Structure 1
């Protein structure tokens, strides 16, 4: 897994991470909790809360883009 430059875990600075919200329902989070699902669709990283991840598990495992849920 590669991290963008400036990511604190990358060693390239201490830029704050942007706030995150669920790409499906909009639930906000200061940073993605470890149980949230991360998906990369069309080169964009999207996070999904626990509830949306559970509700759409089969679609996620089938690698369907969230637009098709």
Structure 2
């Protein structure tokens, strides 16, 4: 999937606002209404149950 953001624009965690120049491998993202939403490692860990709960049952 191609990242639609301009290359000079940093990636921003949608929960805490932390920024990164490139998407770190420890960050997660979802596509909501056609837009990518990133979560930093700390926010991903804090919200793991919520993230798992949105997965399609066939994933498991």
4+ residue runs over 2 A deviation: 2-5, 15-18
Root-mean-square deviation (CA, aligned residues, Å) is 2.2
Deviation for aligned residue 1:41: 1.0
Deviation for aligned residue 1:4: 6.0
CA distance in 2, matches of 1:4, 1:50: 19
Q: Deviations over 1:12-62 (max 9, x none)?
A: xxx735310100000011111011001111111011000000000010111
> Partner of 1:8 in structure 2?
none
Contiguous gaps of at least 5 residues in structure 2: 56-60
Contiguous gaps of at least 5 residues in structure 1: 6-14, 65-69
> Partner of 1:24 in structure 2?
15
Conservation of the 8 A alpha-carbon contact between 1:17 and 1:31: no
- For the residue of structure 2 that corresponds to 1:61, the secondary structure is helix
What are the within-5 Å matches in structure 2 for residues 1-69 of structure 1? 2-3=1-2, 16=7, 18-63=9-54
Aligned residues: 54
Tell me the TM-score normalized by structure 2. 0.74
